[in-house]
């Protein structure tokens, strides 16, 4: 079982920001920038080619909602959406990264960021 399946099953803790029947959204434990967030389908899909279109569209909708929440709470200057497949994909369970960018950034711990976002 991959690590994201374990997080979804609550076998491994996570800084969860949102969850429903379809997705779980939590902070990346090794963030590139403050507020680096992962959107993960609860059903196991390996990657972009494996995931069904309906779930993919739903993830994009959640991504926009989450990007707005991150903007309100962290006031980033830009945000990137990123999704790795094959080479460069560390966890073989589909996930979309939301990566905020800042002109000036004081890097905070994941826990501190979680406290601002929850
Ligand atoms: P990717 O290279 O697209 O597969 O990215 C995998 C991401 O998952 C990396 O940014 C890791 O920091 C992140 N990651 C790995 N383990 C965990 C975990 N237990 N909780 C949250 N994020 C994780």
At 101-114, the pLDDT tens digits run 999 999 999 999 99
Mean pLDDT for the stretch of residues 28-54:
98
Q: How far apart are CA 104 and CA 14, in angstroms?
A: 27
Spacing, Cα 115 to ligand 1 middle (Å): 20
The residue to mutate among 38, 39, 80, having the most atoms of ligand 1 within 8 angstroms of its beta carbon, is: 38
> Does this model's pTM top 0.95?
yes
Exposed e or buried b for every residue in 28-66, given b needs 16+ CB within 10 A? beebebbbbbbbbbeebbeeeeebeeebeebbeebbeeb
84 CB near ligand 1 (under 6 Å): yes
Comparing C-alpha atoms, which of 58, 41, 71 is closest to residue 98?
A: 71
Ligand 1 lined by 108 (C-beta under 6 Å): no
Largest CA distance in the chain: 39
- Residues marked active site are found at 95
Residues 51-65 pLDDT 10s? 999 999 999 999 999
Find out whether the beta carbon of 30 lies less than 6 Å from any atom of ligand 1. yes
Domain 3-117 in CATH 3.30.428.10? The answer is yes
Q: Where are the domains of the chain?
A: 3-117
* Average pLDDT over every residue of 78-85: 98
């Amino acid at each position: 079982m991959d690590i994201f399946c374990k997080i979804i099953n609550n076998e491994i803790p996570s800084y969860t920001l949102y969850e429903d029947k379809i997705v779980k959204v939590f902070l990346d434990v090794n963030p590139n920038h403050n507020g680096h967030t992962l959107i993960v389908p609860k059903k196991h899909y390996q990657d972009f080619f494996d995931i069904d279109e309906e779930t993919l569209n739903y993830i994009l909708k959640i991504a926009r909602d989450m990007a707005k929440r991150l903007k309100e709470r962290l006031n980033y200057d830009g945000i990137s959406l990123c999704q790795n497949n094959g080479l460069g994909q560390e966890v073989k369970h589909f996930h979309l990264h939301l990566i905020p960018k800042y002109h000036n950034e004081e890097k905070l711990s994941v826990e501190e960021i979680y406290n601002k976002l929850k």
